[in-house]
Chain A
């Protein structure tokens, strides 16, 4: 159900940008998701089709691009890519690390179709 709220957010953003560009139809939406987020791709894709029903985004493709989580070591101040199981700094071995605030999930671009030339 988490993913439902997320795709509703994606749809709202896509529709707002498409309408201000006077587009008649959204063909695809490119969404960047951090690996550290807990969103399931299958669930996003499934809900996406559900929520776009009667809008200009009906039938639009959703392209998901994953980016790795970046962490900062609070001891040696080096940043590194997460994914290891204990989150230790690969440089100095410290456990005092924190995720660098980033855009966890954002709409990068949309591809739209407009009437006329």
Chain B
């Protein structure tokens, strides 16, 4: 028997990254723009998805990958009722989606009939920040009742996203959420981050969000041609 040391120097996430790059290539080839929607539980991911599907009806054909840690399919059903082709992923307890799960979900979707793919990640502000999926935009949905200290407590999530939604702005008069303090924390971590304050319930801010998504989809479709 001989014992020896082998140099490896390989990133643990490199396998995931490779699959994510393949996912991105498949999406690009089909002219689909994909958004990875991340948030803590209860921030309003499913509500925003419902409003987005309704708001973009007639403008974009929407597909949806919904995930939960159990077989509870009520969120997927809400998205389906709102008019999106939906795949439900049960992560069986896992706290985040990874690129392999998205690869398998893409196999189940009619990619040619989709312009916009919404991926609803597991409600969690820690792990989803690390596992890239191949989406074009990583979007974080914060909400005012969660508190204004979240950027300071979850810096990895806040500095790794491409856009930020601040949901439930209609509750600002009722909750202790200092928008300046919150925004300062975001600015430190992610300078110039694209931000959408809005309320899914009462409506303000949604039109700008819809227009932003529509412009991304137009750009992606043009690049695929």
Q: Which residues of A contact B (CB under 8 A)?
A: 1-2, 4-6, 9-10, 12-14, 17-18, 21, 23, 27, 31, 36-38, 74, 87, 95-99, 103-117
Contacts and interface: CB of A to CB of B under 8 A. Distances in A.
B32 to A, nearest CB: 26
Interface of B: 1-13, 15-16, 93-96, 98, 126-127, 130-131, 155-156, 159, 187-189, 191
Nearest to A103: B11
Contacts of B130: 2, 37-38, 104
Given A96-B191, A97-B188, A111-B3, A12 B9 contact: no
A2, A21, A104, A111 — which one has the most chain B CB atoms within 10 A of its CB?
A: A2
B99 to A, nearest CB: 11
Interface of A is mostly: mixed
A87 B151 CA distance: 12
A112 B9 contact: no
Contact of A106 (B1, B11, B187): B11
B94 A113 contact: no
Given A9-B13, A13-B12, 9 more contacts: A2-B130, A13-B10, A14-B8, A38-B126, A38-B127, A87-B188, A96-B188, A99-B159, A110-B5
Contacts of B98: 5
Contact of B156 (A36, A95, A97, A112): A36
